[in-house]
Amino acid sequence: MIRGIEASASGLLAGRRRTEVVADNLANLETAGYRADQAISRAFPELFLARLRDPGPGVGPAGVGAGPIPAPAGAGTGVGPGPTGAQAPTPVGIGSTYAGVYIHEIVPRFEPGPIVATGRPLDLALVADLDPTALPEGVRGPGAPRWIPFFAVQPAGSPAGTVAYTRDGRLTIDPEGYLATSAGDRLLVVDEGPDGVPIGAPHPLSVRFGAAVYDVRVEEGGRIRLVDPAAPAFSLAYRPAVAVFADRRLPAGNDPAPDVPAVTGLVKDGGNRFRMGGAPVWAGLDGRFPLGAVRIERGAFEAANVDLARAMTEAMAAYRYFEANQRALLAADGTLNRLINEVGKV
């Protein structure tokens, strides 16, 4: 009875965690660039039960009627667990028992979300993965993983040099004049040279230069141009800093770029923002991933990749799972109560 209560209790805890994950996905249905989470559950290892001091047939390692389990080496000889000269108890197998379940990990799903057209000048959307037709031969092909791009941002309130990653492209101008996402994180950009090739390290972009405030224009392909209102012929061009990650969760052939960080190494840091400990690989700054492979659509943003129908189905399944474990717990508790209060009177 006690084992049944423990197994049911573990199911209740796992069911509650699954419900929390689904509820969080539904709460972020309208969050731009949000990546839905998925709860991965695992069962505890089964326990093998045995009787002691029982010479009768049981369920041994080879199956029913296999007889007693062999005594441990050294038993009854003074070497093993048995006392010297004593007859070691011979355990007889009964069977195995279920030990419950637990939530092993919470993993994000990195499938692209739907693109929502808004016509808003500062909205940018990363469309799907990198375009394989625009990649060099060395990083594409049947054995190559998916290459997933992310915007790079400096999280709000973080010191300079802190980098996080997001798919949120709903840009605004924050109170200090920096280009920022809807969550307040400053978008990182790279300077664009005269030949259109990115140069320099990623940095936040301010529209203020001294007392002057430049106009922001977003062009096709995601180019960001700052134009001086006093001298429209003068402008500065930038490109959003895009980090590339590899999706190696599916079996693949020889990895053509093992140094590219795996997308599974990203850790959620807020609703639609991720962090990673290692150094990123930048599209445009790394010759293997040219800017032409990054598909950016202006006047649109990527919505959350939460499937409402799937999330509602998961919510109902999690509720039923929780309810089933609750009933099993009550049944085990009722049986234990009868065992103590009724059988014990006989």
CA end-to-end distance (rounded Å), the chain: 19
- Asked if the structure places residue 260 within a domain, the reply is yes
- Which residues of the chain carry a pLDDT beneath 70? 1, 53-91, 250-254, 271, 344-346
What's the distance, CA 297 to chain centroid?
25
pLDDT at 70: 52
pLDDT at 158: 87
Its pTM stands at 0.77
In a domain, 109, yes or no: no
249 and 183 in a common domain:
yes
Q: What is the DSSP secondary structure assignment for residue 33, as one 8-state letter?
A: T
Residue 79 inside a domain? The answer is no
Structure tokens at 92: 């007889």
HEC secondary structure over 173-229: ECCCCEEECCCCCEEEEEEECCCCCEEEEEEECECEECCEECEEEECHHHCEEEEEC
Residues 254 and 280 in one domain: yes
Condensed to tens digits (0 to 9), the pLDDT of residues 245-256 reads 988 776 555 678
Quote the pLDDT of residue 79: 45
| Containing structural domain, residue 293 | 115-302
Task: Kindly state whether residues 263 and 325 are assigned to the same domain.
Answer: no
Non-local (6+) Cβ contacts of 46 within 8 A are 96, 97, 98, 99
Instruction: Give helix 308-341 / helix 2-27 axis angle, nearest 10°.
Output: 160
Same domain, 311 and 294: no
Same domain? For 256 and 310 the reply is: no
Q: Do 280 and 134 fall within a single domain?
A: yes
Same domain, 150 and 246: yes
Bridge partner residues of 173 (DSSP): 179
Same domain, 159 and 241: yes
Angle at 170 between CA 310 and CA 278, to 5 degrees: 80
Residue 302 tokens, joined: 């990527």
Residue 53 inside a domain? The answer is: no
Q: Is residue 62 part of a domain?
A: no
Q: Does residue 145 share a domain with residue 292? A: yes
Query: Which tens digit of pLDDT belongs to each residue from 222-253?
Result: 889 999 888 888 888 999 999 999 887 765 55
CA distance 46 to 19: 25
Q: Helices marked H in the chain — which ranges?
A: 2-27, 308-341
Instruction: Convert 186-210 to b/e letters by CB count within 10 Å (16 or more is b).
Output: bbbbbbbeeeeebeeebbbbbbeee
Residues 250 and 324 in one domain: no
Residue 24 lies in a domain: yes
- Same domain assignment for residues 244 and 325: no
Asked whether residue 257 is assigned to any structural domain, the reply reads yes
Report percent pLDDT > 90 for the chain. Answer: 32
Same domain, 315 and 330: yes
Whether 89 is covered by a domain: the verdict is no
Number of domains in the chain: 2
